[in-house]
Amino acid sequence: MKHKCDQCDQPATYHSVKIVKGQKIEEHLCEAHAAQAGLVPKEAQAPINELLTKFVQLHSGMAGAQQELACDNCGMTFNEFREHSLLGCPECYRAFEAQLAPLLERAHEGATHHIGKVPRRAGADEHRQQRLLRMRKQLADAVAAEDYEQAARLRDEIRACEGSPT
């Protein structure tokens, strides 16, 4: 329900609940005390498109360098991402990591890392995910080039890689 600030009698506008070693730790602060603790970037969350536009304006001096930036795996360029707000593949997160980090931080209340559920299997091995992605791209290329021998080989490799324990 409604909380008062932990440090004064003002109504709390900053709320956080953390689970640390199974212990629930709650924190409720008024605007002033939260700001004092450096906790609240108080501006309302802007949609990602808006953030992107701002970001681009901010870095307009680097436009030349930005344009070249592309994901090795799917070919998505940073400009394309900026236009549609959609990334092309999981590898894009690595390719654009430096550019995405400040954007995500602003879009997600200052967060820089994932906290929460971890998949039991996939979480164990990111390298395997990368390898699969690369092989699937090669497979698509082989099929397009009608190199069926190569395609068959890749299919076997993909199957083997998927079946391997993590």
Partner 1 sequence: MNVQALTQRAGEWLRGSGPHSEIVLSSRIRLARNLAGFPFVNRASRRQRLEVLERCRGEIMSGRLAGDIIWVDLNEADDLDRQLLVERHLISRQHAQGGGDQPRAVAIAADETFAIMANEEDHLRMQVLRSGLQLEEAWDQISHIDDVLEERLDFAYSSRWGYLSACPTNVGTGVRVSVMMHLPALKLTGEIEKVRRAARDTHLAVRGFFGEGSDALGDLFQISNQTTLGKSEEEILHGFLENIVPQIIAYEQQARQALIKHRAALLDDRIWRAWAILTHARVIGTDEVMSLLSHLRLGVNLGRLDCVDIRTLNELFLLSQSAHLQRITACEMDQAARREARARMIRHKLGAK
Q: Which two tokens stand for residue 89?
A: 């593949």
Structure tokens at 5: 């600030």
Among the listed residues 70, 100, 151, 154, the single contact to partner 1 using CB under 8 A = 100
* CA distance linking residue 42 with residue 31, whole number of Å: 9
Q: Per rule CB under 8 A, is residue 65 in the interface with partner 1? A: no
Residue 30 binds which one of Zn ion, partner 1, none, with CB within 5 to 8 A depending on kind? Answer: Zn ion
Exposure class string for 105-116: b at 16+ Cβ within 10 A, else e: ebbeeeeeeeee
d(CA 9, CA 119): 42
CB of 125 to Zn ion, least distance (A): 19
Q: Which of residues 37-76 bind Zn ion (CB under 5 A)?
A: 71, 73-74, 76
Minimum CB separation of residue 37 from partner 1 in Å reads 16
Could you give the CA distance from residue 67 to residue 150 in angstroms, rounded to a whole number? 33
Query: Is there binding between residue 102 and partner 1 (CB under 8 A)?
Result: no
Q: Give the total of residues touching partner 1 (CB under 8 A).
A: 57
Q: Which stretch binds partner 1 (CB under 8 A): 61-69, 117-125, 148-156?
A: 117-125
**3-class secondary structure, 8:** coil
Task: Report the residue from 33, 52, 55, 78 that binds Zn ion according to the rule CB under 5 A.
Answer: 33
Find residue 27's DSSP bridge partners.
Answer: 16
**100 part of the interface to Zn ion, by CB under 5 A:** no
Among 6-14, 46-54, 59-67, 134-142, which window interacts with Zn ion (CB under 5 A)? 6-14
Q: At what angle do helices 148-163 and 126-144 cross, to 10 degrees?
A: 160
- Cα(12)–Cα(28) distance, rounded to whole angstroms? 5
Interface with partner 1 (CB under 8 A): 1-3, 13, 15-19, 44-45, 47-48, 73-74, 76, 84-90, 93-94, 100, 103-104, 107-123, 126, 128-129, 132-133, 135-137, 140, 143, 158, 162
